[in-house]
Amino acid sequence: MEKNNSKVLIVDDDEDVLLAARMLLKPYASYINTEKNPALLPKYLADDSFDVIFLDMNFSKDTTGGQEGFYWLKEILKAEPSAIVILITAYGDVEKAVRAIKEGATDFILKPWQNEKFIATYFSAMKLRESRLELEKLKQQQMQIRSDNNKALNDLVGVSPAMEKVFSTILKVAKTDADVLILGENGTGKELVARAIHGNSLRKMEAFVSVDLGSISPTLFESELFGHVKGAFTSAFEEKAGRFEIASGGTLFLDEIGNIPPELQAKLLTVLQSRQVAKVGSGKYKDVDIRLVCATNMPIYEMVEEKKFRQDLLYRVNTVEIHVPPLRERREDIPLLAEYFLSIYSRKYHKPSLNLDRTVLRMFNNYSWPGNVRELQHAIERAAIMCESDTIIPSDFFFNSKETREDEAAENVTLDEMEKLTIKKILIKHNGNISLAAKELGLTRTSLYRRIDKYGL
């Protein structure tokens, strides 16, 4: 039995008992604290967390009845419900043991004890402690999963008819186990759609496993998806579960499915049809229970016609299709998305007063957004970091001019508005110093004052 990283507290009014227990546990526990006075227990529990607490049942005020022990047991469990408490007494009997267990004690030791029994009881208690901690971790993970899933649909922002159609389809298909194919350009939010499907499904408390097929090399495709046994190939130093096995019971999201080479499509199809996987290097098949969601930004139907993607595989993965529109086709969502991302990054970068100048939204509407929602998100984040005031203005953004609808931009943004924004930015740059601002703008101080008055700056 090896030493473990545990904290132990021993409470007994007998110095000899405390010393004997400490010496017994010293080779196995990393931290041992002893205390004669049980009244100090609340302080110990407030200051630290112990893996195992050994508690005497009989102190000086109650030498044989065990009432003090029962009292302090309740106090310990009140402060830390998951505490592992082992009661020790020189006057134990079956009745006290049964009552102690019923009231929350983990075990019961009689004094004088057998050393082997004492150590065995300690290790059993540590196993229980580890199990309880693992259970608590799992509960927290489940709470986080529940929180993430409840948030999943909220992360899809939009009021446009195109997005309303997406929301409607998600809610209809989520409660089923139908395979879903999500189509859309890069940056449109295909993975958010997949997570929303999972978060509103009957599998929402199970795993959501995302696999970017575009980043997996053909040589590792089977190992990543189906797993491998130790020694299956040169670098297989230990057995590994594949993504299908990990996702069993939950949802498997295969992103960029259009990138799978034709020679591997057949292997994927076989697994999807049989819902069984065999690890590389093993002939044993294992059932997997997954909800399949796939996505691609590629022209999948054209690829089928060109024999680059198997038609039978396409039929297998697209029981229901969801088309996620590009941002240029849902321009009414741009202000909503911009404010949503601004709220995120104003909190992240501790700039609570950040706001968007109204001309920014005009500029956004005149831009084609080739990178879609992801590009808008990154643009807002960069502007939030780089802007020099609480108001983000058009010059805080850098776009590819070829992607801007220049005719509409000229129509919507007037020369006066551009002059106002330029003067505002230069004034901010020089902290309101009129002389420095006028010099950079190529104006006299009088001319600059007139413009400041004109624009209400």
* pLDDT recorded at residue 287: 93
| Element of type H or E holding 299 | none
Whether 420 and 399 share a structural domain? no
Residue 139 lies in a domain: no
E strand residue ranges, 185-250: 208-212, 227-228, 240-241
User: Of 190, 194, 214, whose CA–CA distance to 204 is shortest?
Assistant: 194
Whether 41 and 104 share a structural domain? yes
Whether 199 and 285 share a structural domain? yes
- Residue 402 token pair: 């070829």
The CATH number of the domain holding residue 235 is 3.40.50.300
DSSP letter (8 states) at residue 29? E
Whether 251 and 280 share a structural domain? yes
Residue 352 lies in a domain: yes
d(CA 291, CA 180): 9
d(CA 193, CA 201): 12
The answer to whether 73 and 38 have CB atoms below 8 angstroms apart is no
User: Of 170, 220, 160, whose CA–CA distance to 195 is shortest?
Assistant: 170
Domain count, the chain: 4
Cα Rg of the chain (Å, integer):
33
Whether 330 and 259 share a structural domain? no
First and final C-alpha spacing in the chain: 76
Whether 111 and 179 share a structural domain? no
Residue 143 lies in a domain: no
Last residue of a domain, one of 391, 408, 425: 408
Residue 264 lies in a domain: yes
Whether 236 and 100 share a structural domain? no
* pLDDT recorded at residue 165: 95
* pLDDT recorded at residue 402: 53
The CATH number of the domain holding residue 437 is 1.10.10.60
Single-letter residue type at 130: E
Whether 166 and 288 share a structural domain? yes
* pLDDT recorded at residue 131: 84
Whether 171 and 312 share a structural domain? yes
Peptide linkage before 112 cis (omega within 30 of 0): yes
Residue 148 lies in a domain: no
Whether 308 and 336 share a structural domain? no
Pick out the chain residues at pLDDT < 50. Answer: 401, 405-413
Residue 145 lies in a domain: no
Whether 381 and 274 share a structural domain? no
* pLDDT recorded at residue 405: 46
CA angle 239, 128, 33 (to 5 degrees): 120
Whether 339 and 312 share a structural domain? no
How many residues can be counted in the chain? 457
Structural domain that includes position 399: 326-408
